Amino acid sequence: MVLTAFVTGAVLCLISVTCCLLTGSILLLYSGRNGPGAYLGLSYIACGYAFLVAGLTYSGLLYYVPHLFRTGNICWLLCMPLSWLYIRTSVTRKPLSAWDLLHLLPVTLYLIDYFPFLVSSAAVKTAVLRADITNIDQLLRYSQGWLLPANSQIPIRAIQTMLYWSLQIGLLTSSATLQMRKDRSWFRWMILYNTLQIPMFLPTVIVMITGAREYLWASTIPPVAAGLLSAITLFLNPRILYGLKAAEPPPPVRAKPLLLDNDFVERLSIQLEKVMRDEKPFLHADYTLKKLADTVGVPLYKLSAYINQTTGTNFSEYLNQWRIRYCLELIREKKIVNLNLHGIAAKCGFNNRNTFSSAFKRVTGKPPSVYLHTRD
């Protein structure tokens, strides 16, 4: 029975590695630029690496690359934090902060615990691997650490996965997702994506609760199958996989300019100022007029008319002005001293350096390279 599980696990891992790495690469290449897709892509790549090490272990091929032994858990501990960051960024548009370093605590603890073993020689790792692979219970004990007791790593991983999954469900069911729920294809895939994450922790949790440790080996196969199915579902949702934008209806054509009353203009001015300053949606290169209209709760054509009449520009130029204002704040606070123009442009929400340079010169009267030089 165990031998059959090893063969099944090896085959599943081989297929899942291919799908996860391919999915992750596509996400990074297409939808990961200046957007939350980068976190999702890295999550799939982390899963792919973990499955690779598992597959090499199941098949016995790990003997040929002993330095990979026990490295799969590093990526296992990164999969769910990256998944959480994808969902959080998609929903709230919140950028990374120093607090997000806390997501690295489990993997840091594992690296500290296993550091002596990870830097040991291939001969030492091969000897341990030869002893462990003939005893599946010993293999799953993770007994080579010096800090934490044996049998602690798999429960830590399961509990971490369950906690992040709970955070994701909490966010997806909160009022913060009201805007994202309008994108029905994305939200439907979110439900499927989170459902397929349940096998990543539930079998292990059941074994831990019941104390049936002899079945712990069986709990290592469902996550591989779930990862494979999750990657496949993205190929059935190419708009998410490739970061394609949903088509938006244009504002209704009006024969005469829309006249906005003063009270409406004043209220909308205050509301837009608050949204732009607090939420900084302009930092997302793919931000659209419709998303802003939904956020402030006004019809698309009225928001367009407001921008045209009060600023004398279109929506794209309006966003670029906010991006440059944000850029100037970063320059004053010396937060971008180590970035080149391409890096500054990306940090401020621009798709490319040329657009950034043109917008910067229109606002300040100087190219960014000249302006930065005069600030030194």
pLDDT digits (tens, 9 = 90+) for 253-281: 555 667 788 888 888 899 999 999 999 99
Using one digit for the tens of pLDDT, what is the confidence trace for 199-215?
999 999 999 899 887 77
What is the DSSP secondary-structure string of 70-104? TTHHHHHHHHHHHHHHHHHHHHH-PPP-GGGGGGG
Q: Would the pLDDT of 12 be above 50?
A: yes
What is the token pair recorded at 296? 């402030």
Confidence (pLDDT) at 249: 53
Confidence of residue 1 (pLDDT cuts 50, 70, 90): very low
Q: What whole-number distance in Å separates Cα of residue 217 and Cα of residue 68?
A: 20
Closest alpha carbon to 130 in 62, 73, 74: 62
Q: What whole-number distance in Å separates Cα of residue 257 and Cα of residue 260?
A: 9
Q: What is the pTM of this model?
A: 0.68
Using one digit for the tens of pLDDT, what is the confidence trace for 335-360?
887 888 888 888 898 888 888 889 99
Q: How high does pLDDT run on average in the chain?
A: 87
Confidence (pLDDT) at 3: 53
**Cα–Cα distances in angstroms (integers) from residue 227 to residues 130, 221, 224, in the given order:** 28, 10, 5
Q: What whole-number distance in Å separates Cα of residue 348 and Cα of residue 325?
A: 9
Contact 347, 336 (CB under 8 A): yes
How many Cβ atoms from other residues are within 10 Å of residue 229's Cβ?
15
Confidence (pLDDT) at 51: 93
What is the DSSP secondary-structure string of 215-276? GGGGGGSHHHHHHHHHHHHHHT-HHHHTTPPPP-PPPPP-SSPPPPPHHHHHHHHHHHHHHH
CA dihedral 24, 27, 28, 34 (to 10 degrees): -150
Using one digit for the tens of pLDDT, what is the confidence trace for 307-328?
888 888 899 999 999 999 998 9
